[in-house]
Structure 1
Amino acid sequence: MKRKRFANPFRRKRKVDRAVGLAPGTISIADDAVPTSIRAIRFNRSEVKRFENLTVEEIPLASSDHVVWVDVVGLGDEPTISAIGKRFKIHALSLEDVVNTHQRPKIEVYDDHLYIVVRMPSSNGQLDLEQVSLFVGNGYVVSWQEREGDCFNAVRKRLESSSREVRRHGSDFLAYALVDTVVDAFFPHVHHFGDALDQLEDEIADQNRGSEVVHQIFEIRSDIRRLRRVAWSHREMIQSWLTYNGPLTGEATRLHLRDVADHTIRVVELLEMCRESCSDLRDLQMSAASMRMNEVMKVLTVIATIFIPLSFIAGLYGMNFSTQTSPWNMPETQWYFGYPFALFLMSLVAGGMVVFFYRKRWIG
């Protein structure tokens, strides 16, 4: 029966960097970029309205009594991206960072908006840390995603309920809710790493999967290191956001941001524990392999040690000195019971050595 190989669903997907030599602020569209689509949610304490498949001109604008969340999916349409930037007065350098999806989590402060970058983890057979860009202004949040599929459904459901706190605050609180959801999305992946390491620990005892287990441990350790680096950058970004004292972040948002900072610390700690578990499993695998090798060498040594005196006896009686020349020349070769005597002597020597090894606790 063929053994099922452990599949690591967190293999990394490599990104292709932007072209070298472009002028700052140039929007360079990647070849595999998804076509751009726009949807929006406008809400206040009393009502929520969704908008789907919008054009740039149809995007609802923020007002004094409404907050607008514009969710842009796909980075494949340069005219649409530029038009959205002009509509919300987004700096060209920020738009360049939006389409160049290799940015680390960060926050940048502009006169009329904040630019926040987070990395949203997802797994479709590979570890994918999708870049999500957030522009937070007075009464609006513009989010940019690389492709369809996110972890924001919980926020959308919260917006449907008038009793939720996100409906009673401004755009900064909505941005906090989105960042908090991204940070919480790390926990299922961290728990999966823990389960995968537990499974590998059970498989280390399998003598036929030694090299395969070591390879999987190194794969998981590499992904843990990558996820930890991103989680640590999130922590730095949130700390920078907490130090911002401008009008675009209220006191209620700062209070909740402290909770997000605690979550990022917890993620980093759990990933550090997983990384230490990888090191422990690697050492355990090496120790198990060394012990198995020692057992093999012990058996081979015992066999060789037993056969050395037997080979000596067989060689001694195989010299064939003639008894006609001297009566001392191998008289046993002319004896009627010479051959059984040689076998008995060999068996006696071998049995005596086995008993000696057993009493010494070298075998058994």
Structure 2
Amino acid sequence: MEYHHTETPEVDGLYRRHAPIGSETCWLHFTAASKVDLERLLDALSVHPLAKRRLLFGTDIPMADEYERSLFLSLFVIRPELRTAKIYLLATERYVISYMEEDDPLVENVKERLLYHREHALHPGYVLYYFLDITAIRFLQVIDDIADCIQALESQVFKTPFANEIGRNIYRWKIRIHELRQVAEAQEETVKTIQHATLPYINAETNPYMQDVAGRFSRVTAALDAFKESLSGIFDLQLSLKSDHMNVIMKTLTLVSVIFMPMTFIAGVYGMNFAVMPELKWKYGYGFALLLMATTAVLIALYFKKKGWWGENGTKEK
């Protein structure tokens, strides 16, 4: 298979100069800078009008469409920061034409694989496989990165359960994962569609490879579903930790109130100022009242401690 990367619109007669000879096939890659050449080539090849329109203007979702003697394939490539880029492929018996708005390392990765497996370069189906395979590998790499981020988020919940930023991060991650899952699921269905295609270059020889790619995208969608459940679990965990902490605060305030209740009662009794109250004229009455309050408070606190209601001594409630 010959590979040609057209970067400038100065190529004239591209179809004639790069036409396959004999049983050869030709892979041509175009970018926005060479879109004019792509249009001329499609006219020369007499490509189906719908296939031509799809290749030039793209689609909003990953998909595969079969036309007369050609197959259109739309792929979404994952990029850093979870951004996606689109690449469009048109495969015929003799040509594989790829188009991206701007270059991506994916194209060079496919080229390197074809150079390493030269026997596969004779078959357009393998070019499609390499595009799909590298796309799936990129998704799996992103899955590993997301797993690390979610694990870090879970650890942060235990360190700072009251941080509002955690809830916002969970919400943002849910949106990203939902978008990625839609793309991954669509690409999985795209691969399954290719497996059942009846075109000459999609045959029993390439089907096992396509099944392998479909399995990888299936792993991606399963992992993204698991991430959504994990994020929901982390959010529930944060709410639970907040609730537990608030319960501890309310418990502490309640115990302090209970300790001060008998002290308030004693102070209230000796503050009634009835005429016949012997302790009011007693020399040690003030000290006795304070000692009685302190003793009562200490006894109640010790009782709470013994029951396991005060502090975290590991004792069970009796």
TM range (shorter): 0.7 to 0.9
Alignment match of 1:154 (pick from 98, 109, 115): 109
- Contact 2:25 2:123 (8 Å CA) reproduced: yes
Query: Normalised by the size of structure 1, how large is the TM-score?
Result: 0.77
**Structure 2 stretches lacking a partner, 5+ long:** 312-318
1:93 is matched with: 50
Alignment match of 1:71 (pick from 29, 45, 59): 29
The answer on 1:114 being equivalent to 2:71 is yes
**Identical aligned pairs, as a percentage?**
27
Residue correspondence of structure 1 range 1-364 to structure 2 within 5 A: 43=2, 53=8, 55-57=10-12, 59=14, 60-74=18-32, 79=36, 82-98=39-55, 100=57, 102-123=59-80, 125=81, 127-161=82-116, 163-167=117-121, 169-207=122-160, 209-321=162-274, 326-327=275-276, 330-364=277-311
Give the AA of the match of 1:105.
Answer: P
| Alpha-carbon shift at residue 174 of structure 1 (Å) | 0.8
| Alpha-carbon shift at residue 54 of structure 1 (Å) | 5.4
| Alpha-carbon shift at residue 85 of structure 1 (Å) | 3.3
Secondary structure (helix, strand or coil) at the match of 2:205 reads helix
Measure the CA separation in 2 of the matches of 1:101 and 1:285.
Answer: 43
Secondary structure (helix, strand or coil) at the match of 1:276 reads helix
Q: String of CA shifts for 1:75-102, please: whole Å, max 9, x gaps.
A: x787555434323434443444445555
Provide closer, same or farther for how the CA distance between residues 299 and 165 of structure 1 changes in structure 2, counting only shifts above 3 A.
farther
**Structure 1 stretches lacking a partner, 5+ long:** 1-41
| Alpha-carbon shift at residue 182 of structure 1 (Å) | 0.9
RMSD: 2.4
Give the AA of the match of 1:245.
Answer: T
Give the AA of the match of 1:204.
Answer: V
Provide closer, same or farther for how the CA distance between residues 244 and 120 of structure 1 changes in structure 2, counting only shifts above 3 A.
same
| Alpha-carbon shift at residue 165 of structure 1 (Å) | 3.9
| Alpha-carbon shift at residue 152 of structure 1 (Å) | 3.1
- Which protein is richer in helix relative to its size? 2
Give the AA of the match of 1:351.
Answer: V
Q: String of CA shifts for 1:185-217, please: whole Å, max 9, x gaps.
A: 101111111101110111111236532112212
Query: Normalised by the size of structure 2, how large is the TM-score?
Result: 0.87
Q: String of CA shifts for 1:246-305, please: whole Å, max 9, x gaps.
A: 223232222211111111111122222222221221222221111111111111111122
- Contact 2:25 2:124 (8 Å CA) reproduced: yes
Measure the CA separation in 1 of the matches of 2:67 and 2:259.
Answer: 84
Measure the CA separation in 2 of the matches of 1:247 and 1:280.
Answer: 49
Measure the CA separation in 2 of the matches of 1:66 and 1:52.
Answer: 23
Give the AA of the match of 2:270.
Answer: Y
Moved over 6 A (4+): none
Measure the CA separation in 2 of the matches of 1:284 and 1:115.
Answer: 46
Q: Between Structure 1 and Structure 2, how many residues are aligned?
A: 308
Q: String of CA shifts for 1:79-134, please: whole Å, max 9, x gaps.
A: 555434323434443444445555211111111210011111112x4x22222111
